[in-house]
Amino acid sequence: DTGVSQDPRHKITKRGQNVTFRCDPISEHNRLYWYRQTLGQGPEFLTYFQNEAQLEKSRLLSDRFSAERPKGSFSTLEIQRTEQGDSAMYLCASRAQGVNTEAFFGQGTRLTVV
């Protein structure tokens, strides 16, 4: 068990460019979450996958954001036409089934839009 890994750890991009982040969850976890965290704030929920199905999306997730989890394994989060307001830490978490189970978080991808 190598934990949840995210790639890249840091991304600097110019406004208007597209970026894609990857998350590899713990292999036996069927649930995967994406969160966004800005400075001084707690993580905010973006979207949730159960296996390959995207079951919930936050209103924070504008139409420039899309997430996938093909085959129920790794997940990608793409941001199109990035804006400076997209600058944040993007966190991925995976979790086994059950309301009381712990969510394991990756170290995040820090996005800076210049």
Which residues of the chain form contacts with another protein (CB under 8 A)? 3-4, 31, 33, 35, 40-45, 48, 50, 55-56, 91, 93, 95, 98-100, 102-103, 105-108
Q: At 17, which helix (H) or strand (E)?
A: none
> Which residue number, 9 or 15, has a Cβ lying nearer to another protein?
9
- Residue 31 Cβ vs another protein, minimum distance, rounded to whole Å: 8
> Which residue number, 25 or 106, has a Cβ lying nearer to another protein?
106
- Residue 52 Cβ vs another protein, minimum distance, rounded to whole Å: 14
> Which residue number, 77 or 91, has a Cβ lying nearer to another protein?
91
What would the 3-class secondary structure string for 39-108 be? CCCCCEEEEEEECCEEEEECCCCCCCEEEECHHHCCEEEEECCCCHHHCEEEEEEEECCCCCCCEEECCC
> Which residue number, 19 or 108, has a Cβ lying nearer to another protein?
108
Could you tell me if residue 108 is left (phi over 0), alpha (psi between -120 and 50 degrees) or otherwise beta? left
- Residue 76 Cβ vs another protein, minimum distance, rounded to whole Å: 19
- Residue 21 Cβ vs another protein, minimum distance, rounded to whole Å: 15
**3-class SS at 11?**
strand
Q: Pick the closest to residue 78 from 58, 94, 63, 95 (CA basis).
A: 63
